[in-house]
Amino acid sequence: MRNFLTIILMTITTAPAAAQIGNPAGFAPDTRMQEPGVPADHQTNNQDRLFAQLAAAGGLAEVDLAKLAATKAADARVKEFAQALVDDHSDANSRLKALADAAKIPLPDTLDADHKAVRQKLDAAEGQAFDVAYIRSQIIAHQKTAQLLAWEIGSGEDAQLQRYSAATLPAVMKHLRMAQDIASALTGQASREIVAAKHN
Amino acid sequence: MSPLKLVALACVVSASAASLAAYSDPLPPDLTYRPLPTQPLSSVRANDEAQKPKVMKRQQNLLNKRYDLADKPIPDARMSGGQKKVQDGVRVRLPDGVTWDTLASMSPTEIRDKNLLPEGFRPLPHVKQATGGQVFPQKAIDEIGKQENRDLKRFDVDFDLPDHLTPEFPPPIFLTTHPELGDVSRGELLTIKNFYEYMNGIITPVQMEGLRLLLTPFPQEEFNQTEDRKVAQQSMGVACLDCHANFHTNGAFHLTPDVRPQAARFRLDSTSLRGMFNQQIHGSKRSLRSIEDFTEFEQRTAYFNGDHVSATRKGVNLPDRPNQVAMMAQMQNIIDFPPAPKLDPMGKLDPAKASEQELAGERVFMGKGRCGECHLPQTSFLDNNMHDLKLERFYNIGYTANDQVAIADGPIKTFTLRGIKDSPPYLHDGRLLTLADTVEYFNLVLGVKLTKEEKDSLVAYMLTL
């Protein structure tokens, strides 16, 4: 998985600029153009800047919570999932940081209030209750990340941030499905695919 | 209160405080609502025009990669007006190393894991997904320009499919109230200019007023008077029958009003309005329960992407329910399917009139192919239900193609198959170009493992409907 992500993240930067074509009605008024209709590298609009900050906050929190779960989870599948998140996100987060730096977008470096609240809840939970709470928090986190990435793909101006989003989204969808499957195995909650029951 | 209970109470309080905090999530402000443009029209237009050749090239590349777009008609099959040939053969391209039969012999999971689902079976992006909006075929633009002097040409995008893969234009019109007349279109496109002359004496006053409203342009997201438009001149807007040409379809498309964010919205190919009298649910996702509801709402959904706030800004038309909506609905409800002389009153082939191959096709349709379980012949090949075909069993969602993020289709309304040869491209987003494509699609989705002969007979059968 780690290799897979690194490879797509490497290829996206070399893809042609025509791969992303936004609605110019949403360009920032001070956009510098590489040629008419094509913003120069690292030119951003409001959406790009907000995206980078929210995605960084989410990425930071997912790694933080995954590190916790990788040691604290009772169920092996939850542990494995958490470890996969640590690996994948560390790469994705540093790639995002590089793009944001190039576009001069300041990124958060501490947990925001919402993720702190989740962290507190997880700190207080133990055993099976922890596993379920963690997985549920990750389902919500991945739902939100998927929305955020798709939003950037549709509304952004910085083609590299958009390509970063497009390259990251399949893995996020995959993690979302993994989390849903684990939640289904742990609690018996409905899922779109048949999952071997593990709850008792 | 015991100390234990107090502790429990404290926990509940802090837990609810935490979940309250979670409701204040920092989310982007324009995830759901349409953002206001940040640039004046002149600069948007200059950028859009500069981007246009690249936009069209990119879409052509995608189409050519997915499909064989050649003009290869079936020798003797024509659409109901007799002007246009029906296109032949499977057009969706297979990935290297597989045939339709080897593909059909694999499990959905194997196809997904090996990434073998043909791209032409997957969601089809809008020419310019980030902007979306209504796009009209050139023939419709020309004819409406000629008759009404109203410009439906966008400065940012053009229509993407070649003419031979779209419906006949203008298509014939058949009325339930006058079967003996046959096609009453006179081979012309109905417009606000000519409708009265052509329909005078054939339809009632109430239907006539409904027709007038269906042909009257009203402001629309891309065609209006504000700076947020995609047409050069200030525009009077769009009429219902600009897409539902002669109550059929000209293949105009836009993005579904029912999904957000923008990148995940699927393309919508205009549906035919023939046979609406028998349809109980309307819209691929909305499942509106009457033609009246759909008519009343179409000007905030189709016209404004399901964003009533944007509609309010650009000029919304709210047709009056007991009068105008009812009349528009009554006009739509007298539009018949094209004649199908080989079908009996129950929608079954008359063995005295149908060929051996067509009869064989009907047997596959009702039997091994399972088509008749959803497309019920005696209810106009509808079941008035939505079905989740679960295509995402066969591919990994979440990838981006021409700025569209592929997500699962979810439940979609069953479409009628009456007059089906008249309305390519197929499926809600027009991702399939020929009837032979639809047979391969359902063969895979339903796992029914049809032989080549059975597939050919199904196509022959569908041409009779």
Q: What is the pLDDT of residue B24?
A: 58
Rounded to two decimals, the pTM is 0.92
Structural contact between residues A18 and B45, judged by C-beta atoms closer than 8 angstroms: no
Determine, yes or no, domain membership for A29: no
Domains held by chain A: number? 1
Domain residues for A102? 43-199
Look up the CATH number of domain B73-125+339-464: 1.10.760.10
Q: Is residue A170 part of a domain?
A: yes
Whether residue B37 has a cis bond before it, omega within 30° of 0? no
Cβ separation A18–B27 shorter than 8 A: no
Residue A24: CA count within 13 A, CB half-sphere = 28
In sequence order, what DSSP letters do the residues of B276-336 get, joined into one string?
Answer: GGG--SBSTTT-BS-HHHHHHHHHHHTTTTT-HHHHHHH------IIIIIHHHHHHHTTBP
Contact indicator for B42, A29 with CB cutoff of 8 Å: no
pLDDT category at B263 given cuts 50, 70, 90 is: very high
Contact check, Cβ <8 Å, B55/A35: no
Q: Is residue A6 part of a domain?
A: no
Query: Is the separation of the CB atoms in A92 and A165 below 8 Å?
Result: no
B67 pLDDT more than 50: yes
Which residue do the tokens 């008024």 mark? A29
pLDDT digits (tens, 9 = 90+) for B433-451: 999 999 999 999 999 999 9
CB B190 within 8 A of CB B198: yes
pLDDT bucket at A14, cuts 50 / 70 / 90? very low
Look at residue A191 and tell me whether its pLDDT is greater than 90: no
Residue B351 CB neighbours (<10 A): 12
In total, the C-beta contacts within 8 angstroms joining chain A to chain B are 132
> Mean pLDDT, to the nearest integer, of B211-222?
96
Say if A151 is an interface residue toward chain B (CB within 8 Å): yes
Name the interface residues of B facing A (CB cutoff 8 Å). 15, 18, 21-22, 24-28, 30-31, 35, 37-39, 43-44, 46-51, 54-55, 57-58, 128-131, 228, 261-264, 390, 396-400, 403, 405
Chain B positions in Cβ-Cβ contact with residue A51 (cut-off 8 Å): 28
Q: Do A149 and A55 contact (CB within 8 A), yes or no?
A: yes
Averaged pLDDT for residues B89-117: 97
pLDDT of residue B433: 98
Nearest-Cα residue of chain B relative to residue A169: B398
Q: What is the pLDDT of residue B416?
A: 98
ipTM for the complex? 0.88
Quick one: average pLDDT of B2-12? Answer: 43
In this structure, how many other beta carbons lie within 10 angstroms of the beta carbon of residue A58? 24
Across all residues in chain A, what is the average pLDDT?
88
Residue A164: is its pLDDT beyond 50? yes
E strand map for B130-240: none
Q: Which DSSP letter does residue B414 get?
A: P
Average pLDDT of chain B, as a whole number: 93
pLDDT at B290 over 50: yes
Q: Does A18 touch chain B (CB under 8 A)?
A: yes
Q: Is residue A32 a part of any domain in this protein?
A: no
Q: Which amino acid is at B254?
A: H
Average pLDDT over residues B360-384: 98
Q: Is residue A180 part of a domain?
A: yes
A75 inside domain: yes
A183: domain CATH number?
1.20.1260.10
The predicted pLDDT at position A19 comes to 64
> Is A10 a member of any domain?
no
Q: Where are the domains of chain B?
A: 73-125+339-464, 128-332
